[in-house]
Amino acid sequence: MRTEQDTLHATPCRECPLRRLPAIKTNTLDEIDFIQRQKTAEISYRAGAALVQEGQRDERLFTLLSGWAFRFKAMPDGRRQILNFLLPGDLIGMQGRLFDEAPHGVEALSTVTLCAFTRERTWDVFREYPELAYTLTWLCAHEERMIDDGLLSVGRRTALERVAMLIAHLWSRARQLEMLANGVLVFPPTQAHIADALGLSAVHTNRTLQILRKRGLLALANGVLSGVDELGLKRLARYDLPETSRPLY
Amino acid sequence: MRTEQDTLHATPCRECPLRRLPAIKTNTLDEIDFIQRQKTAEISYRAGAALVQEGQRDERLFTLLSGWAFRFKAMPDGRRQILNFLLPGDLIGMQGRLFDEAPHGVEALSTVTLCAFTRERTWDVFREYPELAYTLTWLCAHEERMIDDGLLSVGRRTALERVAMLIAHLWSRARQLEMLANGVLVFPPTQAHIADALGLSAVHTNRTLQILRKRGLLALANGVLSGVDELGLKRLARYDLPETSRPLY
DNA sequence: CGGAGTCTTGAGCCCGATCAACCGTGGTGG
DNA sequence: CCACCACGGTTGATCGGGCTCAAGACTCCG
C-alpha cells in the first residue's frame, strides 16, 4: 500500500540538508546540478511501507533523504533477516542490478523521503561524471563493509555483544549524521527489528537489552535511545578497530 | 611468509582462461588491452599465505586468476568469521578503499595466482573506460549480494540448512566456472573453514556434514567434493530463489 | 474505551558449544 | 626406515545460551 505523494523537486539538490554534513562527501556545483537533472521525483512513504518488494523488478533507484529504513531477506516459512539499517544518505536498490529482480526487500521504519532516479540513466553517470561513478562504487564498497561487520556479529558474537555492537554502530552513524538532539536519538526500530538484525529471538533480545540498561550502557524506551556509552558498548562487543574519523561519504 | 614468485605477464589478458567462460562478462579487445596495461604483476602464493593482512594498508588490488581464497575478520580473542570464499574471477581488496586500512584479511586456501594492479590507477578506469568502471561497480554489488545470502544463513538458518546452503552455493559457483571434472570438485576448505564461515563450531560442522552424507546429498572426503545433489541441498536449505541463468560477471 | 502492537516475565527445553579423547594421514628429521 | 609430530577428521559426554511457548503489562491510537 503505497501512499506516494509526489512532491517533485521539493528539495533542490543544491540545498540538500545532507550536504551540510562533514560526513558527506562534497561535490562540485556542476556535479550537484547533474544529480538534480537525474532526479526524477521526491517521494514520501509512511512507516511500514515496502519501498522495494523482494523478488520484484523495479526500474527506480533511490537515495534516502530522511528517515529510517532497512534491507531484509525473508524465507518462505516466515523467518526474516535484516541485512542492515538505512539512514539518510544511503542508496537503495543498488544491488538489484539493471533489470534484475531485487534480491531483498526494503521497508520504511519511519516516515521516509526518497529521491528517485531511474536505473537506465545510471549509465550516464559513468559516461559523463566519472568522479560521481567513483563515489557510487565507494558507497557500494562501504555498505559491504558494514554488512561484513554484521556478519561477524551474527556469526561470532554472543547476544550481549551483538546488541551492544548494533546500538553502538547505529548511535555512531546517527551522530555523524547529526541526528542526535542533546544526547537523545529518536530510534524507530522495535526490539523485533533488532532481533531480526542480529539473528536472535525477540524475547532474548529483550532480556539482553535489560542487562545493558542495568549496566548503564544505554537507555532505550518508547522509541527513544539515550544515555549511550558508545565506548563502553564497543569495548563490551570487543570492537577494537579505530573509529573512522574521516568523511564517510 | 610470502613466497612471491613474480612471473610478470605470464598469462596475457587476451588469453586469460577465465574469458572463455560464459559466466564471465565479455570485453572489447580495447578494454582487454587496457587491463593488460594496468596489470603490474602476476603473483603466486601457497595455501595458507596471507594475501591481505587485516588492518594494514596495501596499495595493490588483485584479481584471483586461479585457486581458492577467503575473506575473514578476526576478533582479538581468536574468534574468526569467514565473510565469503573467493574463486577465480573475484576481486580482492576492493572494499579497503584507497589509502584505507583493510577491514578484513584475505588468505589463500590453495595455491593461488593473482593478477596485481595498483590502486592509484583505479581512477584511470573511471576516467577512460566507463564501461569497465560499471563492471567494477557491478562486481562489488554482486559480492554484496552473496554476503547478504551468508548473513541470512548465519542469522536465520539451522546448522543443517547452513551447511547445505554453503555447499550448494560453492558447488553452483564452481560449476559455472567449469571447475568440476566429471562430477568431482577439488575442495580446499577444511571443516574448520566451513565452521568459521557459518558461525558454527568445528565439531558440530562435522556432525552436520555426516547427516548430509547419510542422506546422500553430498560426498566430501580428502579435499574432494562429489555426489552433490544441488537441488536437494537447496530445497533442504529453503532456498527457493530461481537459479540465475544469466551471465555472472 | 477497546484493540493492536510492543514490551516484559516465567518455565522448560533443545540445538549447538565445549571439553576431551582418539584415529588416520602425511611430512620431517634422526 | 622408523619415530615423531602436526593437522584434520571423528566420536562421546556434558553443559549452557538462547529458543519456544505462554501469559500478562504497557503504550499508543482511533
Strand C–CB A50 distance below 7 A:
no
Which burial class, exposed, middle or buried, applies to A33 when counting CB atoms under 10 A from its CB (0-12, 13-18, 19+)?
A: middle
Q: How confident is the model at residue A76, as a pLDDT?
A: 93
**φ and ψ of B114, to 5 deg:** -115, 145
**Shortest CB distance from B76 goes to which of A137, A152, A240?**
A240
Per-residue DSSP letter, A8: T
Q: How confident is the model at residue B145, as a pLDDT?
A: 92
How distant is the Cα of A181 from the closest Cα of chain B, in angstroms? 31
Tell me if A61 sits within 8 A of A92, measured CB to CB: yes
**Shortest CB distance from B77 goes to which of A127, A199, A238?**
A238
Distance in angstroms (rounded) separating the CA atoms of residues A177 and A21:
7
A95/B241 touch (CB, cutoff 8 Å), yes or no: no
Tell me if B202 sits within 8 A of B195, measured CB to CB: yes
The 10s digit of each residue's pLDDT in A197-244 is: 999 999 999 999 999 999 999 999 999 999 999 999 999 999 875 444
Distance in angstroms (rounded) separating the CA atoms of residues B239 and B148:
13
Taking the CA of residue A113 and the C1' sugar atom of nucleotide C7, their distance in angstroms comes to 29
Q: How confident is the model at residue A123, as a pLDDT?
A: 86
B123 to A81, A137, A155, B132: CA distances (angstroms) = 36, 11, 35, 11
Determine the Cα angle at B37 with ends B33 and B40, to 5°.
140
Determine the Cα angle at B87 with ends B84 and B88, to 5°.
150
Q: How confident is the model at residue B128, as a pLDDT?
A: 94
Q: Tell me which residue has cell 536472535.
A: A200
Written as one string, the DSSP assignment of A138-181 is HHHHHHHHHHHHHHHHHHHS-HHHHHHHHHHHHHHHHHHTT--B
A155/B131 touch (CB, cutoff 8 Å), yes or no: no
pLDDT(A249) > 60: no
| Chain B residues closer than 8 Å to A75 by CB | 152, 156-157, 238
Task: Nearest chain A residue to B199 by CA: give it.
Answer: A155
Written as one string, the DSSP assignment of B45-94 is E-TT-EEE-TT----EEEEEEES-EEEEEE-TTS-EEEEEEE-TT-EESS
Q: What nine digits make up the cell of B192?
A: 574448520
Q: How confident is the model at residue A211, as a pLDDT?
A: 98
Across the range A152-163, mean pLDDT stands at 98
Which regions in chain B score pLDDT beneath 70? 1-9, 95-100, 241-249
Q: How confident is the model at residue B3, as a pLDDT?
A: 40
Give the full edge-to-edge strand order of the sheet including B224-226. B184-186, B224-226, B219-221
Task: Nearest chain B residue to A83 by CA: give it.
Answer: B148
3-class SS of residue A234? helix
Taking the CA of residue A183 and the C1' sugar atom of nucleotide D23, their distance in angstroms comes to 36
Range(s) of chain A covered by CATH 2.60.120.10 = 4-146
How distant is the Cα of A158 from the closest Cα of chain B, in angstroms? 11
Per-residue DSSP letter, B144: H
B83/A151 touch (CB, cutoff 8 Å), yes or no: yes
Non-local CB neighbours of A175 within 8 Å, separated by 6+ positions = A230
Q: How confident is the model at residue B9, as a pLDDT?
A: 52
**φ and ψ of A84, to 5 deg:** -170, 165
Written as one string, the DSSP assignment of B171-196 is HHHHHHTT--BTTEEE----HHHHHH
pLDDT(A1) > 80: no
What does pLDDT average to over chain A? 89
Q: Which nucleotides of C are covered by protein (CB under 7 A)?
A: 5-11, 15-20
| Chain B residues closer than 8 Å to A104 by CB | 148
Sign of the C-alpha dihedral computed for residues B143, B145, B151 and B154 taken in this order: negative
How distant is the Cα of A108 from the closest Cα of chain B, in angstroms? 19
Determine the Cα angle at A63 with ends A62 and A64, to 5°.
120
A81/B150 touch (CB, cutoff 8 Å), yes or no: no
Which of the nucleotides lies closest to A222 (Cα–C1')?
D27
Q: How confident is the model at residue A241, as a pLDDT?
A: 56
The answer to whether domain A149-237 has CATH 1.10.3080.10 is no
Distance in angstroms (rounded) separating the CA atoms of residues A246 and B202:
39
B156/A127 touch (CB, cutoff 8 Å), yes or no: no
How distant is the Cα of A7 from the closest Cα of chain B, in angstroms? 30
Q: How confident is the model at residue B230, as a pLDDT?
A: 97
3-class SS of residue B224? strand
The CATH architecture annotation of domain A4-146 reads Sandwich (2.60)
If residue A75 lies in a helix (H) or strand (E), which one and from where to where? Answer: none
A97/B150 touch (CB, cutoff 8 Å), yes or no: no
Per-residue DSSP letter, A224: E
| Chain A residues closer than 8 Å to B131 by CB | 126
Per-residue DSSP letter, A100: P
**φ and ψ of B209, to 5 deg:** -60, -35
Q: Return the exposure string of B171-181: e unless at least 16 CB atoms fall within 10 Å of the residue's CB, then b.
A: bbbbebbebbe
Tell me if A196 sits within 8 A of A80, measured CB to CB: yes
| Chain B residues closer than 8 Å to A126 by CB | 126, 130-131, 133-134
Per-residue DSSP letter, B39: -
Taking the CA of residue B1 and the C1' sugar atom of nucleotide C29, their distance in angstroms comes to 22
The 10s digit of each residue's pLDDT in A76-118 is: 999 999 999 999 999 998 766 555 677 899 999 999 999 999 8
Determine the Cα angle at B34 with ends B32 and B40, to 5°.
105
**Short-list B175, B158, B188, CA closest to B228:** B175
Residue B76's CB is within 10 A of a number of other CB atoms, namely: 8
Say which residue, A7 or A51, is predicted with more confidence.
A51
Distance in angstroms (rounded) separating the CA atoms of residues B222 and A194:
41
Which burial class, exposed, middle or buried, applies to B47 when counting CB atoms under 10 A from its CB (0-12, 13-18, 19+)?
A: middle
Task: Nearest chain B residue to A154 by CA: give it.
Answer: B155
Range(s) of chain B covered by CATH 1.10.10.10 = 149-237
Say how many CB pairs under 8 Å bridge A and B: 131
B75/A130 touch (CB, cutoff 8 Å), yes or no: no
Q: How confident is the model at residue B4, as a pLDDT?
A: 43
Taking the CA of residue A192 and the C1' sugar atom of nucleotide D22, their distance in angstroms comes to 18
Strand C–CB B200 distance below 7 A:
yes
B156/A199 touch (CB, cutoff 8 Å), yes or no: yes
Distance in angstroms (rounded) separating the CA atoms of residues B41 and B29:
20
